[in-house]
Amino acid sequence: MAKTIGLLTGGGDCPGLNAVIWSVVRAAAHEGIEVLGIEDGFEGLIAGGTVRKLGPAETRGIHREGGTVLGTTNRGNPFRYRTEQPDGSVVETDCSDDVVRAVRRLGLEGLITIGGDGSLAIAHELSKKGVPIIGVPKTIDNDLSATDNTFGFYSAVTTAMEALDKLKTTAESHDRVMILEVMGRDAGWIAIASGLAAGAHCILIPEIPYRTDVVLERIRSRWAEEQRNYTLIVVAEGAFSAGGDKSYVQAAGVGTVARFGGAGHQLQAALEAAFSEGWDRRRGVPEVRTTVLGHLQRGGSPGAYDRIISMRFGAHAAQLAAAGKWNRMVALQGIEIGSVPLAEAIGKQHLVEADGQLVQTARAVGICMGDRWP
């Protein structure tokens, strides 16, 4: 009887999920393995969940498409499964045994789980309960430590870079300070990569708390020394001022993580306050506008790099399953695709090094990182 494995996508979506699905299905078929697609992450394995057979015919052409044909959720943790009560309160239950039973009932030899830190942590806990797992690292945030890159990251960076390119022309036309807030949670990867690619004047990341007076000085130096009346600033959603706090729109709740939001507008308010107090008004006061790029960064087709890395991850995951090498996460190691034990892949964030090469490059080309200027 042919071996059967389950495949699911968990957590927030990102460009390249469908390319991984496409690739797992094809590489598995090549190894004589059947794939059952599990809908809506681990929810598909909890009572009432849906699974369906996925073969090359069912996945034709999806590698070009954004999103995930399997659906996903960042609220379906089976160990802390949330159900809303009639009075509006939320109760958490441990449904992990349901997942274990479903895996056995469906005759799955194991699961390929495509997800970020949250989904991979769940996968690791399930592996301890005897469910064989292979993880595939996904997230636009690029914040997983055991892989040099996650898929989805460069597509998000391209979206942010294009937004900055567009903001530049309108900033220049109106002599404005333009702030772009980008995603990334506690990591500043999208901000620094897009800011470098677009040549932003100021990049603010969570790893380097910024000072408003330094940002102000950078804006002033553009006006005074460079005779340029616009400034382009990219701010990571997790960035914060020295002595200040990160900005959230929603605190962490039962089984949910906190939602970031507000970093860009917080900086705008601080700059506007500073302009009204200490700015030399003879040159006019710059107007500030903030754009929050939001979920545009997660949508759309994956770029070439992400398609290729997704396909390589997916094929490698299927090959590991065929070889019975479970409880590992596929990983990019230099230019090679390898794998690491699942236990090593979780719990450690991959952050931008405050004195690393990327930051040094930004400083070398005249980009202010918010902590000092010049």
Interaction between residue 139 and ligand F6P (CB under 6 A): yes
Can you tell me the distance from the alpha carbon of 100 to that of 109, in angstroms, rounded to the nearest whole number? 12
Task: Pick out residues in 225-254 that bind ligand F6P (CB under 6 A).
Answer: 237
Q: According to CB under 6 A, which one of 6, 10, 12, 44 is a site residue for ligand F6P?
A: 12
CA of residue 265 relative to chain centroid, distance: 21
Crossing angle between the packed helical segments 304-322 and 153-174, to the nearest 10 degrees: 160
Identify residues 26-45 at the interface with ligand F6P (CB under 6 A).
Answer: none
Query: Which of positions 144-163 make contact with ligand F6P (CB under 6 A)?
Result: none
Q: Alpha helices, DSSP H only, in the chain?
A: 17-30, 96-105, 117-128, 153-174, 189-198, 212-224, 263-278, 304-322, 342-345, 357-364
Q: Which is nearer to ligand F6P, 78 or 184 (CB)?
A: 184
* C-alpha torsion sign, points 141, 146, 148, 149: negative
By CB under 6 A, tell whether 184 contacts ligand F6P: yes
Q: What is the DSSP string of 69-103?
A: TT---SS--GGGEEEE-TTS-EEEE--HHHHHHHH
| Spatial CB neighbours of 178, under 8 Å, sequence gap ≥ 6 | 167, 168, 170, 171, 230, 231, 232, 233, 288, 289, 290, 291
CA–chain centroid gap for 87, Å, is: 34
By the rule CB under 6 A, 141 interacts with ligand F6P? yes
Q: Is 259 in the site for ligand F6P (CB under 6 A)?
A: yes
Interface with ligand F6P (CB under 6 A), residue from 120, 146, 177, 183: 183
Which residue's entry shows tokens 């598995």? 28
165 has catalytic annotation: no
Nearest residue to ligand F6P, scored by beta-carbon proximity = 183
Determine the interface stretch with ligand F6P among 162-170, 179-187, 264-272, 365-373 (rule: CB under 6 A): 179-187
Candidates 21, 114, 73, 12; CA nearest to 307 is 21
Give 34 or 306: the residue with its C-beta nearer to ligand F6P: 306
The DSSP letter of residue 258 is P
Q: Which is nearer to ligand F6P, 123 or 183 (CB)?
A: 183
By the rule CB under 6 A, 298 interacts with ligand F6P: yes
Show the site string, 324-353: x = touches ligand F6P by CB under 6 A, - = not.
Answer: ------------------------------
Which entry of 40, 141, 143, 306 is annotated as an active-site residue? 141
Shortest CB 287 distance to ligand F6P, Å? 28
CB under 6 A: which stretch of 43-51, 92-100, 138-146, 205-213 binds ligand F6P?
Answer: 138-146
Q: From CA 39, how far away is CA 23, in angstroms rounded? A: 17
Q: Which is nearer to ligand F6P, 222 or 298 (CB)?
A: 298
State phi, psi for 359 to the nearest 5 degrees: -65, -40
Which of 185, 222, 246, 312 touches ligand F6P (CB under 6 A)? 185
Residues forming the active site: 141
> Which residues lie near ligand F6P (CB under 6 A)?
12, 74, 116, 139-141, 183-185, 237, 259-260, 298
